[in-house]
Amino acid sequence: MDFYIVIPAHNEASSIGLTLDSLVNQTLLPKQIVVVNDNSTDKTQDIVEAYSAKHPWITLINSKSSNEHLPGSKIVNAFYKGYDILDDNYDVICKFDADLIFPNNYLEKLAFHFNNEDQLGMASGFCYIEKNGDWVLENLTRKDHIRGALKAYRKACFHKIGKLKRSMGWDTVDELLAKYYGWSILTDESLHVRHLKPTGSGYNKASKYLQGEAMYKMRYGFVITLISALKLAIKKQQFGLFKDYMAGYFKAKKEKALHLVSEEEGKFIREIRWKGIKKRF
């Protein structure tokens, strides 16, 4: 099974070498890795060039965008700059962050899962962060959700969902659309991936409004947005975020921001969300 990997990287000199080292030592090597050096001002480029000199299947692309550390469109735009230079001869396309250390059997285990289930559209392991000298689960979302840091898509699923949306919420809507089109999603608890920078640690105030905007764009509606925003704020133990998320939702609604999904897809998404909410209660 052929894996292609795209890694957006902005000022990741402290971690990109560790990420690439874990990938070049996989028991199942990827066929292609493209690192998109997105406006870095540190030694990211030099480190990636050293790896590409040793491994011809690693490619560096230098890209210019903003210096803002924002989730959503910035990282997806960087992903596409790498994806667009690749051919179509892959079985699985991965979007990985530049601050991850993968166990050496990571790709081999994903290949096993994809090979054993024809309708498996997406698969991943779990992110672990360091706390007080121990590596613990980065418990921000449900265990059946694949984190944006380590997405892996079967090619047919990737194309069916329309690839990645250039918006905050892309890493949630992709799964919802995959389910809409009949694909399954798998998370393997045996695959522990070390996440060197906790999610959102560098995001600015503006990025926090984007979460609520994404809920509007996914057609959650007010009540599901309210519940989701409260749950996420509690999960992150930052209750002020609830206000930010709701402000982002109402701002997007007032401005009539473009939705990421059709009305029919939105109805399906709301049904899934309500099922999940009722199950918890």
Coil, strand or helix at 1: coil
Does residue 204 have a pLDDT over 70? no
pTM above 0.85, yes or no: yes
Residue length of the chain: 281
> pLDDT tens digits for 153-192?
999 999 999 999 998 889 999 999 999 999 999 999 999 9
Q: Which residue has the tokens 């971690």?
A: 15
Task: Note whether 63 and 38 are within 8 A (CB).
Answer: yes
Residue 100 amino acid letter = L
Region of 151 (left: φ > 0; alpha: ψ -120 to 50; beta: rest) is: beta
Cα 35-195-105 angle, rounded to 5 deg: 75
Rounded Cα distance between 81 and 221, Å, is 33
Locate 186 and state its tokens: 């798998």
> pLDDT tens digits for 51-65?
999 999 999 999 887
Q: What is the mean pLDDT of the chain?
A: 92
pLDDT category, 69, cuts 50, 70, 90? low
Q: List helix spans (H) across 55-148.
A: 73-83, 106-116
Q: Report, as an integer, the average pLDDT of 261-269.
A: 95
Q: Report, as an integer, the average pLDDT of 253-277.
A: 93
Q: Report, as an integer, the average pLDDT of 68-84.
A: 84
pLDDT category, 197, cuts 50, 70, 90? confident
Task: Note whether 25 and 104 are within 8 A (CB).
Answer: yes
Q: How far from chain centre, in Å, is Cα 138?
A: 14
